[in-house]
Chains A and B, each alone.
Chain A
Amino acid sequence: MLHIKCPHCGMRSQNEFSYGGDASVKRPELNKEISDQDWDNFVYYRKSLRGKHWELWQHLSGCRQWIKVERDTATHEIFKTHKASEDIS
């Protein structure tokens, strides 16, 4: 079970969180023309990376904040965690 540092609450066990996928995906702006291809990329296409990966987790059974976690998908090592408002590096 992973041990995730919530930037708001501190170290917490994985079972307090729910996974939210790739944190680098940006939702296209509202009311803006977008090609089918770009929209499909946003809705469906995700990279399945081996290695460092910024991903979203929600501290569901805690502060309910969505956070950004930099995790190695192969080793589960967690390098950094950010608040939702912080940009990923």
Chain B
Amino acid sequence: MTQSFRLENVGLINRDKKLSFKFNGKIYYGYEGDTLASALIANGIHLIGRSFKYHRPRGFFGAGVDEPYAIVQLYRNGETEPNTKATEQELFEGLEATSINCWPSVNFDVGAINNFLKIFLPAGFYYKTFMWPKSFWYKVYEPLIRKAAGLGVASTKHDKERYEHKYEYCDLLIAGSGPSGLASAYAAAKNGARVILAEDKARFGGTLITSEVNIGNQSGKEWAEGIIAELKEMPNVTIKNRSQVFGYYDHNMLVMSERISDHLPKTKKFHPKQRLWYIRAKEVLISTGSIERPIVFGNNDTPGVMLSSAAKEYLKVYGVLVGRNPLIFTNNDSGYETAIEFKKNGVDSIILDTRKDPQSEIVNEAKNLGIDIKFSYVVVAAQGYKKVKSADIAKISDDKEQLGAIKNIKCDCICVSGFWTPTIHLASQSGNKIKFNEDIDAFVPGRSKQNEKTLGAANGIYTLEETLENSFETGHELSKKITNNDNKISLPKVIEKKSTTHDKFWCVPLPRGKNYKRFLDFQNDVAVSDVEIALKEGYRSIEHVKRYTTLGMATDQGKTSNLNGLQLVSSIENKIVPEVGHTTFRPPYTPVTIGAIVGREVGKHSRPTRKSPIHSWHEKNNAVFVDAGVWLRPRYYKRGNETLFEGSKREARNVRKNVGVCDVTTLGKIDIKGPDAAELLNRVYTNAWLKLPVGKARYGVMLREDGIVMDDGTTTRISENHYHMTTTTAQAANVLSHLEYYLQLVWSELNVNVVSTTEQWAGAAIAGPRSRDLLKELFPKCDVSNEGLPFMGYMEGDLFGVKARIFRISFSGELAYEINVESDNANFMWKKIIEVGEKFKIQPYGTEALSTLRIEMGHVAGSELDGRTIPYDNSLEGLVSNKKDFIGKRSLNREAFISSDRQKVVGVVPLDKKTSIPEGSHLVKDSKAPLPNTKLGYISASCWSVEYDNPFSLAILKDGKNMIGKKLFAMSPLKNKIIPVEIVSSHYVDPKGERVRS
């Protein structure tokens, strides 16, 4: 197909570079510099999709961010993206796009039946209809609605593109590069301020590109280009196109989305697709301009009805005619500018002006050009289904209530201008108290909450000279405040056409006997009649009307619909608009991709991965890793085709029989120093610490103030005023903050310092009956006999020339030691242990064997200390001192905590000694009792006991202390299992703890 609506020699596109693209499977051509929208219009395509609710045909309405209709599914380089605005998507070679909201095709859409059923689809229809019967919602209504609605299909594939985040600081952030943005940026930059200037579109300059003005003897466009070229050269200026400042957050933090590669067929190597900027600005200038307002009339959603400024932009920027027989419907002078541009290019239009007798330079120019103008005329309704074919027009009375005789005139597009709405979204997001400006029938920024100012059209100032003057001054003033420089730019001479006031007319009355749909919200299909119904049904608050009718709730956030909606409510309610109020503007101003929000924090990068210094050894030795908090730990070391179950059993058995070694570097370690260190420990732990001798370790439990166990671990007295605390891997960071809290805020009189040394020390636990023999060979000069290094003893040693700390502590319940060396020596230590241990049949063991060993010994860990249990529940009440006070002690005598049938940890063995009990299973008395079956307790941890070769679990059980020997059922509805079990002591192996002391 040819680009039959493309003009010769008009526009800013690059005609040397022809691009091919596909829309709904058909190949078309456009030029570099086109948007998908302009290229489609050049090819005469106006039917682009179907509407959300009624599936009415949809064309183009705007030429930029305000576009409510032209949303497509985009395909680029093997990826697909929904919710793409054709008016914003730049054309590239090989672009593919398809329509949304239509099935089977945009030309024949089954859903369009809704349009004929529209009488049944009024406001609140979904709320009212699909409520009953309840069971139908998931099975029938929702799938049907989902199939018929939506703004495209999200890809379920992994997104291969890269998205980046960037943090930036500046003196002035300026959002929008129109006249006010350029002038203020230029003035501030010349005055030495650090400026970021952001432009949403590919081209800088905003309205200067298309308006017929003269600044300093240059056209607006030339002037803009000069300023931009100069700004680009300045080291204190960052100037970004394709960058939307979409959110204004607290403390002058703004977020901007930069589309780096979306306009290219493929993202360049090493480039991100998009970049999200977090910008902390000292001052913010909002120069976001304004959006043209539609006028409401019958069938005003027909393809071919569009904003007059969009028609002008398509013509002047892209050299594209939106029609050859245009009708212009306006209540102000802006429509005339479009008509004049048409005329210049040999296209005759008819202007319908709602005003009776406007007098201005522009109106006169149009008259002089011989353009057909009808005053006090309105469009009653557009006619045509998939494209405007004609318009019903009528004269309107001075009071705007009575329509004259309706006649039909031929036209192929209707360009509408209902005056201009300032884009105040960012100002409103910043907390600015916006106010209603009667002169322009729109809201403008009022009192600022943050350091923000709004300039130009965004502030309701529609003349260029005033805009430039204000903007130069504001840019200078704000920069002076920051830089103390005083370089002033003089205002160039500005020539612009004077316009006259607009007509406060926004909605054409329905002619008698006609019930045309008159749309307010074009994306969500909300018509005047819907709002009328909502008000009839008693909705009053504009926030409620909005939610009930979905007015302004589409992805365009009502950019073209909000004010007309407010006008309607206020006229029905007989209130003035400011009394009706406005709905809240929330970020983002335009949709932002999930990819940009997530940035690089995808998959494994969503949080840091911590690895022990011995990690590469584990890898080489076939370790299968598991996430332990942010750490990667070996779960087991796979031999041959071993499963996890087989491998972990082998490793655990070897610990019980010979000796095993486990990397325990991940345990939290806190170095505690100072004369009051013992006193701190005494207050933090539940047991007594004042009399721990140097060279001894002690096990301790710490509580939160509410009496719940926070963490456990051993702390060793290294020297008089020096302690080494260990925490669980998971709680390490919380425990450090906890200690800092008490030291800094509660007991600042204590002279103690705490610091994390988790990464400074690497640890290896060696456990098993032969561990002492191994230790003797590792530390030949040390007396590691049971007398020389008794249980809970500590000594320093020399590991083949490396300084080491030796702790006799045990998690496995076996005779065991933990050796710590500085992290740099971790691999040396580990390899020595493996090498020397060979003759004792040493095997490394992972977290699965570690768990098995601790579970069958009845040692509680994270699955029991889960933030819901007190010391008693974990059989740790022996560690609770009644001679001293400590954190959380006062809570322990709460009624529930001292009740006689308080829950307690127990052991659980299946009666058949074969069936493993799923973790999380409930313990119940009667497996056949009707639901809800009373839960007596739950399985916290399960293992295969290597000592007895049968399954064994730990459970937290109500009245656990009196339940030993009882028979219950473990029920797991998730795994569909009911297992008869016997309750036994949690200390299943070596209940007297003889091995650790041997």
Contacts and interface: CB of A to CB of B under 8 A. Distances in A.
A30 B278 contact: no
B748 A2 contact: no
A30 B683 contact: yes
Contact of B740 (A3, A34, A58): A58
Given A31-B885, A39-B890, A75-B431, A3 B737 contact: no
A18 B741 CA distance: 12
B608 to A, nearest CB: 12
Contacts of B884: 31
A65 interface: yes
A40 to B, nearest CB: 9
A46 interface: no
B744 interface: yes
Contacts of B252: 3
Given A58-B740, A58-B741, A1 B705 contact: no
Given A3-B280, A43-B705, A65 B737 contact: no
Given A18-B737, A30-B885, A65-B744, A1 B891 contact: no
Contacts of A79: none
A25 to B, nearest CB: 10
Contacts of A39: 890-891
Interface in B248-272: 249-253
B706 interface: yes
A31 B449 CA distance: 48
Nearest to B888: A43
B229 interface: no
B286 to A, nearest CB: 19
Interface string A52-76: 0000101010001110000000011
Nearest to A4: B251
Contacts of B431: 75
Contacts of A44: 706
Interface in B414-441: 431
A58 B891 contact: no
B117 interface: no
Given A1-B250, A27-B705, A64-B740, 17 more contacts: A1-B249, A1-B253, A1-B278, A2-B250, A2-B251, A3-B251, A18-B737, A27-B746, A34-B890, A42-B705, A43-B706, A44-B706, A56-B745, A58-B741, A84-B745, A84-B748, A85-B744
B644 to A, nearest CB: 36
Nearest to B706: A43
B891 A84 contact: no
A85 B748 contact: yes
A51 interface: no
Contacts of B683: 30
B250 to A, nearest CB: 5
A16 B306 CA distance: 48
A4 to B, nearest CB: 8
A42 B891 CA distance: 11
A76 B885 CA distance: 38
Interface string A29-47: 0110010000100111000
A26 B169 CA distance: 38
Contacts of A1: 249-251, 253, 278
Contacts of A27: 705, 746
A43 B897 CA distance: 15
Given A3-B280, A27-B746, A84-B745, A60 B706 contact: no
A76 B890 contact: no
A75 B449 contact: yes
Interface in B739-779: 740-741, 744-746, 748
A79 B740 CA distance: 25
13 contacts: A1-B253, A3-B250, A3-B251, A3-B252, A18-B737, A20-B741, A43-B705, A65-B744, A75-B449, A78-B251, A84-B748, A85-B744, A85-B748
Contacts, number: 55
Task: Output the residue of B251, B745, B884 with the most chain A CB within 10 A.
Answer: B745
- Chain A to chain B: the 9 pairs with minimum beta-carbon distance, closest first: A3-B251, A30-B885, A84-B744, A76-B250, A31-B885, A66-B744, A1-B253, A27-B746, A39-B890
A76 B744 contact: no
Contacts of A3: 250-253, 280
Contact of A66 (B745, B886, B890): B745
Interface residues of B, number: 25
B336 to A, nearest CB: 45
A43 B888 CA distance: 9
B451 to A, nearest CB: 12
A84 B683 CA distance: 20
Contacts of A64: 740
Contacts of B745: 56, 66, 84
Contacts of A58: 737, 740-741
Nearest to B884: A31
Contacts of A43: 705-706, 891
Contacts of B748: 84-85
A56 to B, nearest CB: 7
Contacts of B886: 30
A66 B741 contact: yes
A27 B887 CA distance: 10
A73 B885 CA distance: 35
Contacts of A76: 250-251
Nearest to B250: A76
Nearest to A23: B745
A43 B890 CA distance: 10
Nearest to B756: A64
B929 to A, nearest CB: 35
Contacts of B737: 18, 58, 60
Interface in B869-889: 884-886
Interface in B225-260: 249-253
A44 B707 CA distance: 12
Contacts of B890: 28, 34, 39
Contacts of A75: 431, 449
Nearest to B278: A1
Nearest to A58: B737
Contacts of B280: 3, 13
Contacts of B253: 1, 3, 13
Contacts of A18: 737
B839 to A, nearest CB: 47
Contacts of B249: 1
B888 to A, nearest CB: 9
B703 to A, nearest CB: 11
Task: Output the residue of B744, B886, B891 with the most chain A CB within 10 A.
Answer: B744
Contacts of A30: 683, 885-886
B885 A66 contact: no
Task: Output the residue of B251, B278, B280, B449 with the most chain A CB within 10 A.
Answer: B251
A19 to B, nearest CB: 11
Contacts of A31: 884-885
B670 to A, nearest CB: 12
Interface in B695-745: 705-706, 737, 740-741, 744-745
A76 to B, nearest CB: 5
A75 B252 CA distance: 13
A71 B748 CA distance: 24
Nearest to A32: B885
Interface string B140-171: 00000000000000000000000000010000
B586 to A, nearest CB: 16
A60 B756 CA distance: 13
Contacts of A85: 744, 748
A56 B884 CA distance: 28
Task: Output the residue of A28, A42, A56, A64 with the most chain B CB within 10 A.
Answer: A64
Interface string B480-509: 000000000000000000000000000000
A20 B249 CA distance: 22
Nearest to A31: B885
A17 to B, nearest CB: 12
Contacts of B706: 43-44
B390 to A, nearest CB: 54
Task: Output the residue of A20, A43, A65, A78 with the most chain B CB within 10 A.
Answer: A43
